[in-house]
Amino acid sequence: MRRIWFVILLTFICFAGMGQGTPTRTIFAYGGGFTRQFMSYVITLTKKENPKICFLPTATGDNANTINQWYTACEGLPMRGYVQRAFVASYTDSKTFEDNLLGMDAIIVGGGNTLNMMAIWKAQGIDTVLRKAYNKGIILGGGSAGSLCWFQGGTTDSRPKDLSIVKCLGFIQTSHCPHYHSEPLRKPLYFDNILQGRLSPGYAIDDKAGIVFENEQYVRTVAIDDKSNAYYVSVVNGQVDEKLLPVTEILK
């Protein structure tokens, strides 16, 4: 009789644990700035009603205009919008970055100066918090600096005079090039950096296209028009190879 009850208990424990697997780690990287279509798509990725979505405007120094533009893009969407500023004070902020960010369903990073953003995140420990959010299954996303930050690195206009290479968080272990077709210097420089081994092969994205990654693997390409695309750029037989990643959905 004890053996029967033991088997029943063991079966119950096994079935109880089946729905508690490791969360899916998801990143939605798009090539340019946030749009209403992209924010609406982030909502669907959370698979929740009225999700909590937080905007990180660090790359623009928490610029008020950028924050207002984000709220405007999200106006009327079925979500609860929040902003996490990096320029804060202990006297006015009673919760830590971890307290705020790990309670979100999605975190969106804005464009701007990638180099400065990475430095601030590391100084404040936000980079560590974002890794925890990623492992927890909180949707991470963004465009421009907000897409570049999730990869090993890529080219940035964060320094004077010339585009240069910046190292980023490395959640996705490839390089990345945002603004692929809208900024003429981006594509040839990206090709040369990959060909010369200064950057690893990686993903290039037009401003109005985006890529979904799950558990560090490419899943799909989406876009908000039929002229925007994403690509995987690598070296094959000593030559740069640009592989089109076909758009599977036009966002409305």
Active site residue 144: yes
CA-wise closest residue to 118 among 110, 107, 127, 109: 127
Of the residues 158, 175, 176, 179, only one is catalytic, namely 179
- CB-based burial label for 66 (10 Å; 0-12, 13-18, 19+): buried
Q: In this structure, what token pair is assigned to residue 177?
A: 């090039």
Of the residues 144, 147, 158, 175, only one is catalytic, namely 144
Q: In this structure, what token pair is assigned to residue 202?
A: 């990686």
d(CA 227, CA 230): 10
Cβ atoms of 69 and 80 closer than 8 Å: no
d(CA 226, CA 145): 24
Alpha helices, H only, the chain: 2-17, 36-46, 64-74, 97-101, 114-124, 126-136, 145-148, 186-195
Largest separation between any pair of C-alpha atoms in the chain: 80
- Please report which helix (H) or strand (E) contains residue 108, including its range: strand 106-109
Length of the chain: 252
- Cite the active site residues: 144, 179
